[in-house]
Amino acid sequence: MTVSPAFSRRPLTTQHLAGLPIAVFSDLANQIAYGNEPAGNWRVGFYRTKVRVQTWWYDLWRYWLIDGFLERQIVFWLKRYLKPGVVLEVGTGDGRLMRHIPRTSTYWGFDVFIREDVARMANAQGNCHLFVASATKLPLPDRSVDYLISTEVLEHVTGPTQAIREMARVTKPGGLAFITIPNNYCYKYQRKGPHPEHVNNWSYRDFMAAMAPYFRVIEGRMTGYWLPWFPRLRYSYQLPISHPDERFNSNFLFAFERIDAR
């Protein structure tokens, strides 16, 4: 496993743990004060930059009531389509998808920073390589990737058109891309207001227009039925089901094929 020099590993200390209750209390207070979702590593749980606090019941809660349906769908597509090759994940995050890449493939993962627990996970897996880079300037050769994964990333990127162009550049013709984005015009955001970290408010039509020059859809679905429990809190509870009305689905999920056009 290799890690970009921009990432330096530091050991876990009691100072990290001591700050966790304060951070949790602060985040809960902000939830009550503001009607937006939590930002950064707090979006789906009590994550810190260097410390991950997790229990089996939290895993269950996140997996079935927060955003686990995104992971399940990507894993389903990986099992259906993945053959030995090079897999690039644009936005490694907490590394939950990295665990599903078999050793017969090589995994490259990038993010704006690499968490220590994710680096340890990659090191244990053996076929994973992590680096720090921008989605708008991927440090990989043209047509070097067989499979690309990007879940809930493009709404955060300044310059999304360039990011999509870069994804297309590094993906081989005939290669597959598994991408998810939020439905920024769904009922959830109408009630809660815009997400504070979404710099791009995608609609289905806008996203498809941005992807069309480079990719064609082979599978797609919309899902994530928002439950308006405690709407003043930042957490969003969503059932892993699809509603026939687009505005009641919180996310769009796509499997694309790279077309042979520059």
pLDDT in tens, 75-117: 999 999 999 999 999 999 889 999 999 999 999 999 988 888 8
Spatial separation of the C-alpha atoms in residues 187 and 18, rounded to whole Å:
38
Q: Cα-atom radius of gyration of the chain, to the nearest Å?
A: 18
- What's this model's pTM, rounded to 2 decimal places? 0.77
Q: How far is CA 140 from the centre of its chain?
A: 20
Render pLDDT for 242-255 as a digit per residue (tens, 0 to 9).
Answer: 999 999 999 999 99
Q: How far is CA 160 from the centre of its chain?
A: 15
Look at 223 and 41; give whichever has higher pLDDT: 223
Please check the confidence at residue 135 and state whether its pLDDT lies above 70.
yes
Model pLDDT, residue 228: 79
Report the DSSP beta bridge partners of residue 253: 180, 221
H or E stretch covering 175: strand 171-182
Task: Name the H helices within the chain.
Answer: 14-33, 56-65, 68-81, 116-125, 160-170, 187-192, 204-211
Pair type for strands 106-111 and 128-132 = parallel
- The domains located in the chain, with CATH, are 64-258 (3.40.50.150)
Residue with tokens 């897999």: 87
